[in-house]
Structure 1
Amino acid sequence: MSEKLHVNEPAGLMVFLSEQLQGWARSKIKQRLQTGCVSVNGSSTTQHDYALNAGDLVEVGATAKTANSSPSQLEILYSDRDVIAINKPAGLLSVGNPKETQQHALAILRKQLSHRTQAIKLWPVNRIDRDTSGVLLFATSREMREAVMDKWDQAEKTYLAIVEGCPTPAQGTIDQPLRLDEVEYRMYVGAHPDAKLAITHYKTERTSNARTLLQVQIDTGRQHQIRAHLSWLGYPVVGDERYGTKGSRMGLHALRLKIIHPKTGKELMFETPAPADFFALMNQINANAASKKPVKTRPRK
């Protein structure tokens, strides 16, 4: 349940909350702010000194789920006899991993759709990183998965990314091959006998507090492609510990996926807006990132 508070006179947000929520510990109020649970007139903010005006409505929501908590059900964006698209929350694995004991989206969705007399089988069409939220697609048979993948080069894959800094130029294309170092489990960018083609297009949407919201489209779908490419460019994704600086969550969201349905030949589009805690990253200021150069992922000799 959320707390709705009406502002009667100008004040700073933290001061206002401390006065209105007198039974709350200051650390609890700060935690709600930092995790994007506080909104002013419907817009999420994490700024402690946000200027409030008389007539504003402040809402303090419940604590967001942590990365280690698994939902019992997932939001289904689209479903037919052949494919199912879901909205995967950040912090949840797409599929099982032998090195991980945490629950994953594939297992949750199977249980969610199965009946007592009939177990549902699903095959992942695409995968998104555990700390990335957004559209995830499954097929109801191995044959359908292969049929969708046969036309994957025609699929449109659009993401939102929040990065450190302000890319110059404001839009462009990164056409740099990638190779996976399986020991370090990270991608390296640049020419190498083992590197594979990878193309990423980005466009600036808006900038705030030395962070930029980008719309990103990828022609290919290499592992960690967006994260590695943007870090190589000098603008790592916010909260990406592997290619940049650790944060409260990673600023990457799978916004939209368009595919050609193998049976009908019709275009299907699956889309889900980014959650509040994603956009809250735009209002945070990472002092460590500001003083730390981004990790370059160029190939080693």
Structure 2
Amino acid sequence: MSDKYTANASSELMPFLIAKLQGWSRSTIKQRLKTGCVTVNDQQVTRHDHGLVEGDRVNVAASSQGISATRPKLDILYEDRDLIAINKPAGLLSVASPKDKAQHALGILRDQLSRRSKPVKLWPVHRIDRDTSGVLLFATSREMREAVMKGWESAEKTYLAIVEGCPKPAGGTINQPLRLDPVIYQMHVGEHPEAKRAITHFTTERSEGKRSLLRVELETGRQHQIRAHLAWLGYPVVGDQRYGTEGGRMGLHALRLSITKPGASKPLVFETQPPEDFLALLK
């Protein structure tokens, strides 16, 4: 048994559920989310601040067992014997977190590809933030992961970012080192003995009202690099509660990744267009 609803306007998931599930206590609704009883467009969601857009299909099951048998599979963009690239949805962890027991892309993909007689092992080549959607790459062996990582600096990494404001000039390069503060888990921008080199190139694709869509190229790949750099510049990513303003959906999408696979003569290019809920942030 389950209840099915359709979003008529943009909102966060929790207020939507409270309005629809009249008679349910807030604690009961949170428990349903925590135990995996809620899906949005057939994708399991556990975050109460998940952003909804008009037309989204929300399903609330009586128990997580009711949806586990039909758990949606991750969208595989590329697969060979050594590498697998997927389109990670926003709100899903790349890998397991010791502080968060939520589902993660590594575990889902491993279950998706494994057979009872032939379990699959995977190693993450890189990671993208939980609230970032887009290209995520895994290797099928530790050796392949290490081989790809040796040439990671030459990989081409392209993102789309929706930011608050209209950058002036419309494009440029941010060359500011970054240092992680382990206490608040946030990047500090600027010179410091412990800071590491970080370079971000950006161009404005278009602006609508008080927001802009940027195309971002990473010359380096530091943690939170795009988010920290753009916030430092004065144009924080929409929905980024750590470096900007809290929101239901963060405006960051990993559009394209190009690597040279060890032993190959031509680069491999993985690309996936941004989902509707990402583009809706620009309006």
Q: TM-score range by the shorter chain?
A: 0.7 to 0.9
- Letter of the 1:63 counterpart: R
| 3-state secondary structure, aligned to 2:204 | strand
2:10 maps to which of 23, 27, 34 = 34
The Cα of 1:159 is off from its aligned counterpart by 0.1
User: Which runs of 5 or more structure 2 residues have no equivalent in the other structure?
Assistant: 13-53, 61-66
Q: Which runs of no fewer than 5 residues in structure 1 stay unpaired?
A: 1-27, 37-59, 284-301
Distance 1:148 1:32 in 2: 45
**Equivalence for 1:74:** 74
Whether contact under 8 Å (1:176, 1:199) holds in the other structure is: yes
Which residue number corresponds to residue 162 of structure 1?
162
How far apart are the structure 2 equivalents of 1:65 and 1:198? 42
Change (3 A) 1:151 1:77: same
Give, in whole Å, the separation in 1 of the partners of 2:59 and 2:128: 19
* One-letter amino acid of the counterpart of residue 10, structure 2: Q
Q: How does 1:87-98 map to 2 (within 5 A)?
A: 87-98=87-98
Partner SS for 2:202? strand
Q: Which amino acid aligns with 2:278?
A: F
CA RMSD of aligned residues (A): 2.0
What do the CA deviations read for 1:216-249 (whole angstroms, capped 9, x no partner)? Answer: 0001110000000000000000000000001120
Cα deviation for residue 265 of structure 1 reads: 3.0
Aligned partner of 1:255 in structure 2 is: 255
**Residues 208 and 65 of structure 1: is their aligned pair in 2 closer, same or farther, counting only changes over 3 Å?**
farther
Corresponding residue for residue 214 of structure 1: 214
Name the residue aligned to 1:3: none
Report the number of matched residues: 230
Provide the residue aligned with 1:61 in structure 2: 55
Residues 107-186 of structure 1 mapped to structure 2, 5 A cutoff: 107-186=107-186
Matched-pair contact (CA < 8 Å) for 1:82–1:140: yes
After TM superposition, give the deviation of residue 62 of structure 1 in Å: 3.5
Counterpart for residue 234 of structure 2: 234
TM superposition score normalised by structure 1 = 0.73
d(CA) in 1 for partners of 2:234, 2:273: 26
Shift of the alpha carbon at 1:64? Answer: 6.1
CA distance in 2, matches of 1:65, 1:271: 29
Aligned residue in 2 for 1:86: 86
CA contact (8 A) 1:35 1:280 kept: no
CA contact (8 A) 1:35 1:277 kept: no
Cα distance in 1 for partners of 2:248, 2:99 equals: 23
1:39 aligns to what?
none
- In structure 1, the partner of 2:244 is 244
Indicate the percent of aligned positions where both proteins have the same amino acid: 67
Look up the equivalent residue of 1:171 and give its one-letter code: G
Residue type of the alignment partner of 1:261: K
Letter in 2 for 1:61: G
Larger Rg: 1
8 A contact 1:180–1:186 mirrored in 2: yes
Cα distance, 1:221–1:170 mapped onto 2, change above 3 Å: same
Separation (CA, whole Å) in 2 of partners of 1:102 and 1:72:
16
Quick check: 1:35–1:63 contact (8 Å CA) kept in 2? no
Deviation at 1:180, TM superposition (A): 0.3
Query: What is the Cα deviation at residue 73 of structure 1?
Result: 1.3
SS of 1:206 mapped into structure 2 = strand
For residue 179 of structure 2, give the secondary structure of its aligned residue in structure 1: strand
Cα deviation, 1:116-145, whole Å, max 9, x if unaligned, reads 101100000010000000000000000000
